[in-house]
Amino acid sequence: MPLPATYGYSPHPVPLPATPLVYSRPAPIIARYVMSVLVIVGALWGDEAKGKLVDVLAGDADLNVRYCGGHNAGHTVAADGKTFKFHLIPSGILHENCTAVISGGMVVCPKTLLDELDNLHANAKTTGRLRISKSAHVLFPYHRLLDRLEEEYRGARRVGTTSRGVGPAYQDKVARFGIRMAEFVDPERFPERLRIALAMKNRTIQLYGEEPLEYEPLLDEYQEYAERVRPFVGEVEREVNEAVRAGKRILFEGAQGTMLDLDHGTYPFVTSTYPTAGGACLGTGLAPGQIDNVLGVCGAYATRVGSGPFPSELCGSLADRIREEGREFGTTTGRPRRCGWLDLVAVRHASRISGFTSLAVTRLDVLSGFDQVGLCAAYDIEGTRVDWVPTDMAELEKAEPLWETMPGWSGDLSLCRKEDELPAQATEFLRRIEAFTETPISIVSVGARREETIILRPDLLW
């Protein structure tokens, strides 16, 4: 059939151009033949050992980009005979080949950042490969103060935050009162930006009945920090984008975990940002289609710090035993972590939201010596069997775990370096996790140290 002479539904039809339009997709600017973008996501309530896995994988990475959160995170790395605790700097900084990037999705406490840099120098590590986005937000003492005041105000329904001020810093970002890195390190703009922000925050602080913070000492202190931070600050989003287009290997490092995600976690008992894989795009300017693989990380059992529902939580001697064996005390606050059996329903929820292409199961060694190990395979909510994570926290708070039990195993798993060296019961346990969550396991961690790692499926990583 011949084309009509005009097209469109306008009452004043547009004449067709003389040259026919050619609808074709532009040719891709670069062709990437290798899998090169891997996002690491916590599957549950944080502390799944993301830091250890980043360290293991960063040996093969050109860039390690942290995409969310602030110094509420605590990532422990046991490498080269030392233990490093990172709150802001991506764990890949330990590898000379790897540029560590603090992205625009993060909020940065300059004092913590400088302490971390000093600690790395004290351990003979070089830090010149650190890059900080101009759009990362800066965290100030008034955020920390407001975190405490808000928690006190919430009373019994307090979130149990890490009290670092991370939530209030993100509130300022969303409210468009935040101070970004670009302004912080600009001696011309910073004094005025701080003066306005502090005046605004002091109003709220006084509403809580507290003394306002003083401008001059705060400005002096933070101007000194800005001098030291400035050399690291740059056009990071463009650099990351170019690295992706050049096919460089990039490891995106999540903080916290899926069940703490602002939208997909146990709201309001969550953090103020997006630990899920989508957060890697929001925080860094990475396009969704550029993600090749997503590695979800969960422990062989579950932990949570702070308040909020935790359906598979254990209490009494069983929980104490896991806490002692796994040394489950917060990296950031030192709080004892709540412990429970692994919640398969929550891990599957996480896998679906972030599109896990594989799972890393950590701390398998900790469960050695139990006669039986448990897995939460569904919730009983007022007599109804539910095998998904309800969106309404009032429902999740009523959830009772429906357990599957499996035979336990014994022996020192930290010595295992191949899957066939694991006890058969441990392998069965892993197969059950894979089947339920519909996600293959690519890595098993059997100890805190870098070498205590079994890589089962390298093909699912890069």
Report, as residue numbers or ranges, the catalytic residues: 47, 75
DSSP class of residue 221? H
Is there binding between residue 106 and ligand GDP (CB under 6 A)? Answer: no
Q: Which of residues 63-92 bind ligand GDP (CB under 6 A)?
A: 74-76, 78
Nearest distance from C-beta of residue 50 to ligand GDP, angstroms: 4
Report the DSSP pairing between strands 293-299 and 37-42: parallel
Length of the chain measured in residues: 462
249 binds, among Mg ion, ligand GDP, ligand IMO, none (CB under 5 to 8 A by kind): none
Should residue 283 be labelled a site residue for ligand GDP when binding is judged by CB under 6 A? no
Residue spans of beta strands (DSSP E) within 179-267: 233-234, 250-253
Q: How far is the CB of 226 from ligand IMO (least distance, A)?
A: 24
Position 340 contacts ligand IMO (CB under 6 A): no
Contacted entry of ligand IMO, ligand GDP, Mg ion, none for residue 145, CB cut-off 5 to 8 Å set by kind: none
**Minimum distance, C-beta of residue 431 to Mg ion, in the bound complex (Å):** 28
Stretch that binds ligand IMO, among 29-37, 71-79, 99-107, 215-223 (CB under 6 A): 71-79
Cβ nearer to ligand IMO, comparing 273 with 368: 273
Interaction mask 358-387, ligand GDP, x per CB under 6 A: ----xx-xx---------------------
Among 39, 41, 44, 49, binds ligand GDP (CB under 6 A): 49
Name the DSSP letter for residue 237: H
In the three-class reduction of DSSP (H, G, I as helix; E, B as strand; rest coil), residue 458 is classed as helix
Strand order in the sheet with 233-234: 233-234, 130-133, 99-102, 63-66, 250-253, 37-42, 293-299, 358-362, 441-445, 453-455
CA distances from residue 169 to 146, 189, 232, 262 in whole angstroms, order as listed: 9, 19, 21, 14
90, 167, 296, 309: which one contacts ligand IMO (CB under 6 A)? 167
**HSE on the CB side for 122, CA within 13 Å?**
9
d(CA 387, CA 393): 15
| CB of 437 closer than 8 Å to CB of 344 | yes
Q: Is 306 in the site for ligand IMO (CB under 6 A)?
A: yes
Indicate whether 44 belongs to the interface with ligand GDP (CB under 6 A).
Answer: no
> What residue spans of 302-369 are helical by DSSP H?
316-325, 344-354
User: Which phi and psi (to 5°) does residue 25 adopt?
Assistant: -75, 140
Let me know: does 258 contact 349? Beta carbons within 8 Å. yes
Nearer to ligand IMO, 98 or 305 (CB): 305
Measured from the CB atom, is 130 or 260 closer to ligand IMO? 260
CB of 256 to ligand GDP, least distance (A): 8
Q: Can the peptide bond before residue 268 be classed as cis, meaning omega within 30 degrees of 0?
A: yes
- The pattern of x and - marking residues 325 through 364 that bind Mg ion according to CB under 5 A reads ------x---------------------------------
Whichever of 56 and 377 has its CB closer to Mg ion, that residue is 56
Binding map of ligand IMO across residues 108-137, x = CB under 6 A, - = no contact:
------------------------------
Based on the shown chain and the rule CB under 6 A, indicate whether residue 446 belongs to the binding site for ligand GDP.
Answer: yes
User: Rounded to the nearest whole angstrom, what is the least distance from the CB of residue 335 to ligand IMO in the complex?
Assistant: 7
445 binds ligand IMO (CB under 6 A): no
Provide φ and ψ at 230, rounded to 5°. Answer: -50, -45
Rule CB under 5 A: is residue 47 a binding residue for Mg ion? yes
Question: Does the footprint of ligand IMO cover residue 338 (CB under 6 A)?
Answer: no
| Cβ neighbours for 231, distance < 8 A, ≥ 6 positions apart | none
Contact 250, 61 (CB under 8 A): yes
Q: CB count, 10 Å around CB of 13?
A: 12
Six-digit token pair at 174? 């969303």
Alpha helices per DSSP H over 208-309: 215-229, 236-245, 277-284
* Alpha carbon distance 69, 303 (integer Å): 19
* Contact partner at residue 294 from Mg ion, ligand GDP, ligand IMO, none, CB < 5 to 8 Å by partner kind: none
Cα separation, 267 vs 284, in Å, equals: 24
| 74 binds Mg ion per the rule CB under 5 A | yes
- Considering the rule CB under 6 A, would residue 88 count as an interface residue with ligand IMO? no
The option from Mg ion, ligand GDP, ligand IMO, none interacting with 233 (CB < 5 to 8 A, set by class) reads none
> In the stretch 3-42, what mask flags binding to ligand GDP with x, by CB under 6 A?
---------------------------------------x
Instruction: Note the residues at the interface with ligand IMO (CB under 6 A).
Output: 42, 45-47, 72-75, 159-162, 164, 166-167, 255-257, 260, 271-272, 305-306, 331
Instruction: Note the residues at the interface with Mg ion (CB under 5 A).
Output: 47, 74, 331
